[in-house]
Amino acid sequence: MKVCVVGGAGYIGSHTVYELIDAGHEVVVVDNLSTGLKDAVHKDASFYEGDITDFASLDKIITDESRKKPFDVVMHFAAKIVVPESVKNPSLYYYNNVEGVRTLLDVMVKHGIKNIIFSSTAAVYGEGKDGICTEESETKPINPYGETKLVSEKMIGWFAQAYGMNYCIFRYFNVAGAHKSLEIGLLRDHLTHIVPVTIQTALGIREKMTVFGSDYDTYDGTCVRDYIHVSDIAYAHVLGMKHIALNNISEIINLGSNQGFSVKDIISEVEKHHPVNHEYGARREGDPAKLIASNKRAKEILGWTPKRDLSDIILSDLEFRKRHKK
Ligand code: UFG
């Protein structure tokens, strides 16, 4: 299939491009390089610099490429994804994440592209009832990031109904780790996610880290999350794309592991390799206590289960950061 990957120079996008190319698909990457890296784009993919909120530039790229061969699928990864940043700057999140999706959908409609794979998030569930989320769980985001993804999911649903499109919406839980080649991983300035922050601290790239809150209603007082390797997430996109395009169907699917680990567990796992200089601080705004996926639907519909566990996640990110010294 010919696939347009918007945000394909970013973390999850670049890993998905690797999986698509490994599976023999033709890939065109569009990225504005705001957080993505040109070097992260697989050498066998075509690359265009373009912004998801700019209809004219997206339209031109799709027009030029479609002359060679029309697209079968668009994948959307071009989102702002940092929960605390969204709490501080909601406008940025509504503009990039919601207006960006609307623009992309308009371009797809204009060019008659029928299939979209959309990166959504566990943050659409908010607190979750007992912290275990099935796709039927109530959606009640507690931060602007989750809200913008939920609005986008609904918008995609309405476009699909109006224009006969298929979608596969993936709700990711906590994605971490790096590609086995160690060529791509989560590389950017001012990282805030727990896995890279802990590993940077272990490697001395950061002096110290803070655990945000130790009085949550969880087994050790720190927040519990469902960690999933980025290459497992990426491979699910290859399966999801085939499923919706061949069966002319739409799906919403959690991508997680059915298992939760606390912030303390992450530190302990990293400390199997190196000590981590950490302190305990106040809770961070917008953090739910516990978010764990039920991944039953991914298994039933796509035959997908994660192949890598927490120790693989930590080890791959650790090796990646040792190599890139970041
Ligand atoms: N944390 C710390 N110290 C740090 C960084 C994080 O204690 O320096 C804690 C957070 O407070 C939170 C946990 O580690 O309790 C995980 O935080 P992350 O920032 O790594 O990830 P989030 O759970 O906030 O968000 C991530 C993605 C979202 C996704 C969500 C789903 O960024 O896109 O997981 O669970 F929605």
Look at residues 238, 254, 270 and tell me which one is the last residue of a structural domain: 254
Tell me the CA–centroid distance for residue 164 and ligand 1, in Å: 36
Helix (H, G, I), strand (E, B) or coil at 251: strand
**Cβ of 173 below 6 Å from ligand 1:** yes
* Residue 287 confidence (pLDDT): 86
Look at residues 211, 239, 254 and tell me which one is the last residue of a structural domain: 254
**Cβ of 186 below 6 Å from ligand 1:** no
The CATH number given to whatever domain includes residue 73 is 3.40.50.720
Burial of 109 (0-12, 13-18, 19+ CB in 10 A): middle
**Cβ of 276 below 6 Å from ligand 1:** no
Whether residue 31 contacts residue 41, with contact meaning beta carbons closer than 8 Å, is answered with yes
Q: Assess whether 214 and 273 both reside in one domain.
A: yes
- For ligand 1, atom 6, which residue shows the shortest CA distance? 194
Q: How far apart are CA 215 and CA 218, in angstroms?
A: 8
Tell me the CA–centroid distance for residue 193 and ligand 1, in Å: 5
Residue 187 lies in a domain: no
Q: Assess whether 112 and 236 both reside in one domain.
A: yes
Q: Assess whether 164 and 243 both reside in one domain.
A: yes
Q: Assess whether 7 and 94 both reside in one domain.
A: yes
* Residue 286 confidence (pLDDT): 78
The CATH number given to whatever domain includes residue 265 is 3.90.25.10
Q: Assess whether 7 and 38 both reside in one domain.
A: yes
The band of 144, judged by pLDDT with boundaries at 50, 70 and 90, is: very high
Q: What is the rounded average pLDDT for all residues in the chain?
A: 96
Residues 10-34 have pLDDT tens digits of 999 999 999 999 999 999 999 999 9
Owning domain of residue 274:
194-226+257-324
Q: How far apart are CA 44 and CA 41, in angstroms?
A: 8
Q: How many domains does the chain have?
A: 2
Residues 33-51 have pLDDT tens digits of 999 999 999 999 999 999 9
